[in-house]
């Protein structure tokens, strides 16, 4: 049985606790201790390691007995900064370290004055740490403790929990929290609704997402670009591309100007359902009227177009207006060139990648293309692509040869099939049982 706390028990245990938030009298502003500045500076520069963090944090805690102690808000700010810090060589997991420091602070506060106890702001930071660590069940446990302290959770507390459960695919839990929030007279805001709608859309629960959208509008909260983006994505992945079109038009008619993310999602939805002309129309409208297409716009359209000439035309346009092609764009075009037999152009694109210090496609990428061609009986084209691999510095592996052997057997070309064994030996690759099995099958199938 799961040890995860149940929402009903968490809320039930808080019924006897006061829901009045303690108000601390404001004190005159005072200079922050040197340890605070040192902590923040090292964190910004990426040089704050766990040992440094513990030492500086302990210095701040010890100052609590001084006539001019470090303010509680300053200590909480340190935890918040650490929770949001990107991974660095010195500290790979800021949220986990922030949790550890919170526990140090909590242990220190126990024998001291109640004024030193964690505040709602501190608890919200801890809940967010567990969300960032993909541990919403631990965030919920902290939320339960927050309720038991008598501190009333605010909209930020609920938003963080709802977002955490939604992102982990536990939308039922997020949905339940949403209604508990309303029961507790905490009014949802646009962040609450967007987090829940996004989670429902990602699990294709479009009926529920529309229901939440209606509640959002009824509450007087206007859907924004993020709201509509989630709906466009959700309807697309649910196979309901016409609904994606409806949502996109509804967003525009509501007075919202679609942003580049909205347009990219819509292009992806159209391409996913082979509505290439409509996708190109949206893209062309972006070029003429805005928002300006970005690298995601181009890569999404290039992947969906299918026609090499059109894809290369869009690629050249992207370069002309100064949008640098990404690795994904190059890989998409190279695959198109390989599939259409345009190996000279493919080689040019690979050279471009190398000249720009973009990692060129590897053996696994090319072997996949070769395998697909050979299964279609286009083994000569597959062999040409292997030659292209060698010319661009890639060494074929046993999987590459497996695909070619299967292709030659499929078209009955025994001479080339046996020549592959010599080619493998020349570069030091030992045939595996699959290769020998293919060879044996070729011989049996081609015996007169």
Contacts of 368 (CB under 8 A, 6+ apart): none
3-state secondary structure of 2: coil
- 438 found inside a domain: no
What local confidence, expressed as pLDDT, does residue 223 receive?
97
* Pairwise CA distance, residues 189 & 159, whole Å: 9
- 262 found inside a domain: no
pLDDT, tens digit (0-9, with 9 covering 90-100), for 50-86? 999 999 888 888 765 555 556 778 889 989 999 998 8
The model's pTM is 0.71
Highest mean pLDDT among 107-121, 206-220, 341-355, 387-401: 206-220
Q: How confident is the model at residue 1 (pLDDT cuts 50, 70, 90)?
A: very low
Q: State both tokens at 122.
A: 């501190």
- 78 found inside a domain: yes
What's the mean pLDDT in 374-403?
A: 89
Question: Where in the sequence is the domain holding 78, given as residue range(s)?
Answer: 44-153
- 93 found inside a domain: yes
What local confidence, expressed as pLDDT, does residue 74 receive?
84
Number of domains in the chain: 1
* Pairwise CA distance, residues 394 & 382, whole Å: 15
Helices 363-375 and 398-411 sit at what angle, rounded to 10 degrees? 10
What local confidence, expressed as pLDDT, does residue 24 receive?
43
* Pairwise CA distance, residues 270 & 332, whole Å: 18
As a whole number of Å, the CA-based R_g of the chain is 30
Q: In the 8-state DSSP scheme, what is residue 440? A: H
- 65 found inside a domain: yes
200 pLDDT higher than 90: yes
What local confidence, expressed as pLDDT, does residue 64 receive?
56
- How much is the mean pLDDT over the chain? 86
Task: Report angle CA 390, 343, 325 to the nearest 5 degrees.
Answer: 95
- 372 found inside a domain: no
* Pairwise CA distance, residues 385 & 372, whole Å: 12
pLDDT, tens digit (0-9, with 9 covering 90-100), for 164-199? 999 999 999 999 999 999 999 999 999 999 999 999
Q: How confident is the model at residue 245 (pLDDT cuts 50, 70, 90)?
A: very high
144 pLDDT higher than 90: yes
Locus of tokens 């987090």: 195
* Pairwise CA distance, residues 216 & 223, whole Å: 7
- 431 found inside a domain: no
Q: Are 83 and 125 in contact (CB under 8 A)?
A: yes
Task: Report angle CA 363, 368, 373 to the nearest 5 degrees.
Answer: 125
Rounded to whole angstroms, what are the CA distances from 81 to 53, 76, 191, 270, 271?
Answer: 12, 9, 21, 40, 40
DSSP character string of 152-171: PP-HHHHHHHHHHHHHTT-H
Peptide bond into 186 cis (omega under 30): no
Q: Are 96 and 115 in contact (CB under 8 A)?
A: no
- 94 found inside a domain: yes
What local confidence, expressed as pLDDT, does residue 363 receive?
92
């Amino acid at each position: 049985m799961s040890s995860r706390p149940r929402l009903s028990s968490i809320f039930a245990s808080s019924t006897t606790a006061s829901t009045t938030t303690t108000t601390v009298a404001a004190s005159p502003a005072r200079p922050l201790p040197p340890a605070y500045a040192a902590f923040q500076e090292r964190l910004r520069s990426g040089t704050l390691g766990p040992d440094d963090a513990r030492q500086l944090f302990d210095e701040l805690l010890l100052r609590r007995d001084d006539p001019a102690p470090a303010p509680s808000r300053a200590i909480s700010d340190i935890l918040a900064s650490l929770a949001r810090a990107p991974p660095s060589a010195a500290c790979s997991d800021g949220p986990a370290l922030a949790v550890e420091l919170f526990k140090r602070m909590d242990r220190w506060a126990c024998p001291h004055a109640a004024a030193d106890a964690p505040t709602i702001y501190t608890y919200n930071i801890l809940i967010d740490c567990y969300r960032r660590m993909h541990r919403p069940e631990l965030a919920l446990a902290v939320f339960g403790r927050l309720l038991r302290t008598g501190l009333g959770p605010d909209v930020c507390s609920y938003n963080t929990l709802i977002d955490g459960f939604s992102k982990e695919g536990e939308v039922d839990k997020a949905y339940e929290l949403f209604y508990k929030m309303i029961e507790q007279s905490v009014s949802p805001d646009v962040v609450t609704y967007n987090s829940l709608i996004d989670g429902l859309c990602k699990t294709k629960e479009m009926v529920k997402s529309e229901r939440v959208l209606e509640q959002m509008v009824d509450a007087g909260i206007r859907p924004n670009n993020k709201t509509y983006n989630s709906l466009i994505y959700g309807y697309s992945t649910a196979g309901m591309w016409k609904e994606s079109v409806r949502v996109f038009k509804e967003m525009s008619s509501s007075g919202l100007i679609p942003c580049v993310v909205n347009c990219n999602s819509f292009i992806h939805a159209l391409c996913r359902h082979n509505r290439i002309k409509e996708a190109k129309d949206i893209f062309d409208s972006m070029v003429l009227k805005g928002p300006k297409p970005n690298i995601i716009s181009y890569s999404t359209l290039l992947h969906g177009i299918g026609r090499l000439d059109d894809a290369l035309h869009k690629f050249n346009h992207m370069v002309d207006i100064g949008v640098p092609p990404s690795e994904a764009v190059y890989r998409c075009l190279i695959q198109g060139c390989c599939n259409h037999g345009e190996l000279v152009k493919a080689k040019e694109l690979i050279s471009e990648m190398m000249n720009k210090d973009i990692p060129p496609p590897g053996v696994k990428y090319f072997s996949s293309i070769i395998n697909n061609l050979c299964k279609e009986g286009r083994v000569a084209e597959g062999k040409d692509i292997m030659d292209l691999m060698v010319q661009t510095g890639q060494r074929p592996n046993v999987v590459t040869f497996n695909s070619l052997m299967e292709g030659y057997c499929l078209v009955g070309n025994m001479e080339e099939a046996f020549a592959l064994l010599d080619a493998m030996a020349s570069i030091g690759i030992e045939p595996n049982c699959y290769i020998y099995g293919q060879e044996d099958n070729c011989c049996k199938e081609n015996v007169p």
